[in-house]
Amino acid sequence: MLVIAAIAYILSQVMPGIQIRSYGSAIWFAIVLGILNVLLRPLLIILTLPLTIFTLGLFLLVINTLMVMLAGEWISGFKIDNFGWGFLFSLLLTIITSTLFREEDRQRKERRG
């Protein structure tokens, strides 16, 4: 959660359409986003499965954006100007976190043997 909060906070500093007032707001954003991803995201994926299949999985990017924007609505000190900024923020957040976690997994496997 702290890594996601840090990345979100850094992205907000370089993206004019995203405003995060403090690192504390970024931590709350990461917590709410995690909860939404556990509870709501699977339901949305199931409900939109035909559209996701038709778009070859690209609709999952829209679902990710909706999760980020919904989390942003619930956190004071966090603002996304529009869907476009939300989409770009969500995409960058996903790419950066998955890259970091993949590298962490690779290093952990190397240490084991």
- The domain of 91 spans 2-112
Query: In the predicted model, what is the mean pLDDT of the chain?
Result: 94
Q: For the chain, what is the domain count?
A: 1
Q: What is the pLDDT of residue 72?
A: 93
Tens-place pLDDT, residues 22-78: 999 999 999 999 999 999 999 999 999 999 999 999 999 999 999 999 999 999 999
pLDDT band at 92 (very low <50, low <70, confident <90, very high): very high
Q: How many CB atoms lie within 10 A of CB 4?
A: 20
In which element (H, E) is residue 80 found? strand 78-80
DSSP 76: T
Please give the structure tokens belonging to residue 84.
């476009």
Percent above pLDDT 90 for the chain = 88
Contacts (Cβ under 8 Å, ≥6 apart) of 55: none
pTM of the model: 0.89
